[in-house]
């Protein structure tokens, strides 16, 4: 249904801005509570960064996507059936700064061989034993860099820990991310690769939202937001006006504040302006095999690299023998890099890991600066610097997304903040009925 077919006099209980996973999840929770929900998205295809593109017979996520197990509970609550498998705990580490001097070490050999001294092996083991039982609140207020400098004496052990942190948080700036947030994510770093890509999750969400009567409008651009609860108005690019009691925004914070034509609190504006997006350079390949099929995963220790054959455990193509491979460079969020050089770097990495790989490529896609998350979760105190619904200063307007909250990251942050925001909205609307 086109938006201009909606009765202009109709009033919505809640309008959700943004049709990514957070927005779709929130719309389902609201509809489950009996609310009249409108979801708007400016893209032609719903799903945001959760979409998968079909290239031939293969499903390609936007870069390497892994689903953390701690997300499954909320996904199940909103009608998503997750299909996939946990990757094997094996692979290799890439040691060294220069390609000519790099070594590829199988994971078990790194600890059984002489690549680490006995003292370094013990320091690494003590670190992991300690973080499993420590109170993370004690280190939320300092950066990961500061924490590791206090606790780890060996540079090699520190780099190894940072490699695990990068793969679990996607963040390459250890001086910016909260130590408690980073280590908390590392502790819960059990993941799944999803059959037929993350589009299968998006499809389930859209199906459930439609079943519950959520009105979904894509290719719809909002130009201005005015008013507060219970009369919030959205003015679209085509001058259509939408009236809603509450508004939930799941779009990125910078774009969101540009739309609001009301006095937002200074603290909220300041926090939005201080967000630091997490980015990655991603080389995604559809291949008819690997020259070295035994090597399906590798992690850079001294360089911020990731390589994985996701098809080793998940079905990502309808064609027998076809696989999907992801390479990634975790980008520095402060210092810009050269996108062309990053692509050459990822190709050289694959030359090192899979010599002759070019002969196996069916199709390729390079995403030079993919936004993985809209903000790095920085160190915080009780009076924190993180964005929350209490900061906005406009009654009836709420936020959700990977940039909301204190300790959750990535999809878990999106899902958790969506659920929390809908609870606040339902409470608000129920008070109206009393």
pLDDT in the model for residue 45: 96
pLDDT in the model for residue 90: 79
pLDDT in the model for residue 385: 60
- 267 and 403 in a single domain? The answer is yes
pLDDT in the model for residue 7: 54
- 345 and 332 in a single domain? The answer is yes
d(CA 385, CA 404): 11
Q: Structural domain of residue 181, as residue ranges?
A: 118-188
How many domains, the chain?
A: 3
pLDDT in the model for residue 108: 84
Regions in the chain scoring below 70 on pLDDT: 1-8, 381-385, 432-434
Nearest to 167 by CA among 12, 306, 51, 260: 306
d(CA 342, CA 372): 17
Structure-block tokens of residue 248: 């939930």
Nearest to 75 by CA among 204, 169, 252: 204
Structure-block tokens of residue 209: 């939202």
- Residue 112 resides in a domain: no
CATH code for position 293: 3.90.660.10
- 337 and 415 in a single domain? The answer is no
- 317 and 361 in a single domain? The answer is yes
The DSSP-derived string for 233-247 is EEEETTS-EEEEEEE
pTM check: above 0.85: yes
Structure-block tokens of residue 170: 């996607």
pLDDT in the model for residue 6: 53
User: Residue-wise over 214-227: b if at least 16 C-beta within 10 A, else e?
Assistant: bbbbeebebeebeb
pLDDT in the model for residue 107: 86
Structure-block tokens of residue 277: 């997006």
Tally of CB atoms within 10 A around 89: 9
The set of residues, in sequence order, having a beta carbon less than 8 Å from that of 14 and lying 6+ positions away, is 27, 30, 35, 36, 37, 38, 244, 245, 246, 247, 248, 425, 429
Q: What angle do CA 351, 356, 362 make, to 5 degrees?
A: 105
- 369 and 286 in a single domain? The answer is yes
- 210 and 233 in a single domain? The answer is yes
- 265 and 295 in a single domain? The answer is no
425 close to 432: Cβ distance less than 8 angstroms: no
CATH code for position 42: 3.50.50.60
Classify 398 as helix, strand or coil: strand
- 20 and 95 in a single domain? The answer is no
- Residue 93 resides in a domain: yes
DSSP single-letter state for residue 4: G
Question: Looking at 358, 373, 388, which one is the last position of a domain?
Answer: 373
Structure-block tokens of residue 274: 């201080």
H/E segment holding residue 69: none
Nearest to 28 by CA among 46, 42, 10, 43: 46
pLDDT in the model for residue 120: 95
H/E segment holding residue 217: strand 215-217
- Residue 113 resides in a domain: no
28 close to 39: Cβ distance less than 8 angstroms: no
Classify 364 as helix, strand or coil: strand
Nearest to 16 by CA among 302, 212, 296: 212
- Residue 24 resides in a domain: yes
- Residue 267 resides in a domain: yes
- 94 and 10 in a single domain? The answer is no
- 205 and 262 in a single domain? The answer is yes
Nearest to 221 by CA among 17, 28, 400: 17
**β-bridge pairing 37-40 and 297-300:** unpaired
- 245 and 289 in a single domain? The answer is no
Taking only Cα atoms into account, the Rg of the chain, rounded to an integer number of angstroms, comes to: 23
424 close to 391: Cβ distance less than 8 angstroms: no
Helix (H) and strand (E) counts in the chain: 12, 19
d(CA 37, CA 40): 10
- Residue 126 resides in a domain: yes
85 pairs with which residues across the strands?
A: 193
Question: Looking at 142, 167, 188, which one is the last position of a domain?
Answer: 188
- Residue 402 resides in a domain: yes
pLDDT in the model for residue 433: 61
Q: What are phi and psi of 135, to 5 degrees?
A: -85, 110
Q: What are phi and psi of 181, to 5 degrees?
A: -65, -45
Question: Looking at 160, 188, 216, which one is the last position of a domain?
Answer: 188
pLDDT in the model for residue 201: 98
- 364 and 384 in a single domain? The answer is no
Determine the angle formed by the axes of helices 179-187 and 118-133, rounding to 10 degrees. Answer: 90
User: Residue-wise over 156-171: b if at least 16 C-beta within 10 A, else e?
Assistant: bbbbbbbbbbbbbbbb
């Amino acid at each position: 249904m086109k938006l201009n077919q909606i009765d202009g006099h109709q009033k919505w209980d809640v309008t959700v801005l943004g049709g990514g996973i957070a927005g779709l999840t929130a719309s389902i929770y609201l509809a489950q509570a009996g609310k009249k929900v409108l979801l708007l998205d400016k893209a032609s295809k719903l799903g945001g960064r959760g979409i998968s593109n079909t290239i031939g017979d293969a499903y390609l996520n936007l870069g390497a996507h892994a689903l953390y197990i701690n997300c499954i509970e909320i996904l199940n609550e909103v009608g998503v059936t997750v299909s996939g498998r946990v990757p094997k705990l094996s692979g290799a580490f890439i040691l060294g700064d220069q390609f000519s001097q790099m070594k590829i070490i199988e994971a078990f050999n790194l600890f059984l061989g002489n690549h680490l001294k006995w003292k370094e092996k013990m320091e690494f083991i003590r670190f992991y034993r300690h973080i499993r039982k420590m109170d993370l609140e004690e280190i939320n207020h300092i950066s990961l860099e500061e924490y590791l400098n206090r606790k780890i004496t060996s540079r090699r052990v520190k780099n190894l820990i940072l490699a695990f942190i990068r793969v679990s948080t996607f963040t390459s700036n250890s001086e910016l991310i909260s130590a408690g947030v980073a280590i908390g994510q590392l502790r819960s770093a059990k993941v799944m690769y999803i059959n037929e890509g993350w589009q299968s999750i998006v499809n389930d969400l859209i199906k459930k939202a439609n079943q519950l009567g959520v009105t979904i409008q894509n290719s719809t651009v909002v130009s201005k937001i005015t008013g507060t609860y219970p009369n919030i108005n959205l003015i679209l690019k085509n001058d259509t006006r939408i009236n809603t009691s509450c508004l939930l925004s799941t779009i990125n914070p910078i774009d969101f504040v540009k739309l609001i034509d009301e006095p937002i609190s200074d603290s909220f504006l300041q926090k939005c302006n201080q967000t630091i997006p997490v980015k990655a350079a991603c080389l995604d390949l559809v291949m008819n095999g690997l020259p070295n099929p035994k090597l399906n995963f590798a992690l850079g220790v001294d360089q911020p690299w990731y390589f994985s054959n996701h098809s080793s455990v998940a079905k990502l193509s309808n064609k027998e023998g076809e696989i999907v491979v992801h390479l990634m460079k975790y980008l520095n969020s402060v210092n810009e890099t050269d996108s062309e050089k990053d692509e050459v770097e990822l190709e050289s990495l694959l030359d090192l890991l899979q010599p002759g790989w070019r002969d196996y490529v069916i199709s390729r896609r390079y995403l030079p600066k993919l936004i993985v998350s809209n903000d790095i979760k920085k160190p915080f105190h009780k009076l924190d610097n993180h964005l929350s619904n209490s900061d906005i200063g406009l009654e009836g307007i709420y936020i959700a997304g990977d940039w909301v909250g204190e300790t959750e990251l990535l999809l878990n942050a999106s899902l958790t903040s969506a659920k929390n925001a809908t609870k606040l909205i339902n409470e608000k609307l129920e008070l109206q009925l009393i």
